[in-house]
Amino acid sequence: MYVPRPDALKAADWRAALGLVNDVASALADDGGYVHASCQGLQRLVASELTTLSICHLVSGRRTVHGDVAGTIGAAERDCFDRHFREHPLVRVHGEQRHPHVHRISDSLSPLAFRRTPLYADYYRRIGIDCVLAMPVYQSDGWLVSWVLNRRGRDFSDREAALLDQVRAPLARFFQRTDWMQRLAPSTHDAPPLRALSLRAPLTPREREVLQWVAAGKTDRDIAAIVGLGVRTVHKHLQHIYAKLGVETRTAAVMRALA
């Protein structure tokens, strides 16, 4: 999988990256400050037609966007995106596979192959975008939060990807200091039903129950306390779930069960 390399970065690039980090650090008084400062700084660092903070709930397939979106992405466009949520290359790379680095759609698909996808035809063509890059700042069971840069006609270069990858870790740390983390915290309510799990996934009733709580964002220790099992037993159930669904991570198991 592609990992940006900073070899080609020059002194001016490092100064620009440091300036962005300092600006965002000075704006952390509230969530809006983080979003505004990061959005403006990223646009100065790497040109894009549209820069947004994308917050994806991987279980439900829902996404909200924040930042440079006024008048650009309407309800109809959001519905188009949600219809193709699980086939999006960047959702797969950063959400299911948990690749921690900056990634472009072109790192997964050639431009021609991308333009042939329903995702492009139904969504990106509508908003006039054909080049997309995402920088994950929060990846957890059930959630993917990324800064997403979009532009038309000219893909993001290796240098631009490397430059963004250098500010990824600081922006991730800053994000975790905002109130967004409370909003993304697992709910204490009962686990929601998994829509297709009981009919299509070859799991036992206990395995379904464990996976329900995984989908609700609970840790192994939480699940053990809720269902009255030992933590090691929960681990065993998860290993069986992964094997039956052909996956390797918790998020991938939930996404596969819902697919």
pLDDT of 93-136, one tens digit each? 999 899 999 999 999 999 999 999 999 999 999 999 999 999 99
Average pLDDT over residues 73-80: 81
Residue 81 CA to chain centroid, in angstroms?
Answer: 14
CA–CA dist 224, 218 (Å, integer): 10
CATH 3.30.450.40 range(s) for the chain read 6-184
CA–CA dist 12, 166 (Å, integer): 13
CATH for 197-258 (3.40.390.10, 1.20.1270.30, 1.10.10.10, 3.40.50.1970): 1.10.10.10
CATH number listed for the domain at residues 6-184:
3.30.450.40
Higher-confidence residue of 230 and 60: namely: 230
Question: For position 31, what pLDDT does the model report?
Answer: 60
Question: Which pTM value belongs to this model?
Answer: 0.73
Average pLDDT over residues 212-239: 83
What DSSP letter does each residue of 146-178 carry, written as one string?
EEEEEESSSPPPHHHHHHHHHHHHHHHHHHTTS
Tokens representing residue 141 in the block: 């069971």
Q: What is the mean pLDDT of the chain?
A: 87
CATH 1.10.10.10 range(s) for the chain read 197-258
Query: Coil, strand, or helix at residue 186?
Result: coil
pLDDT digits (tens, 9 = 90+) for 164-177: 999 999 999 999 98
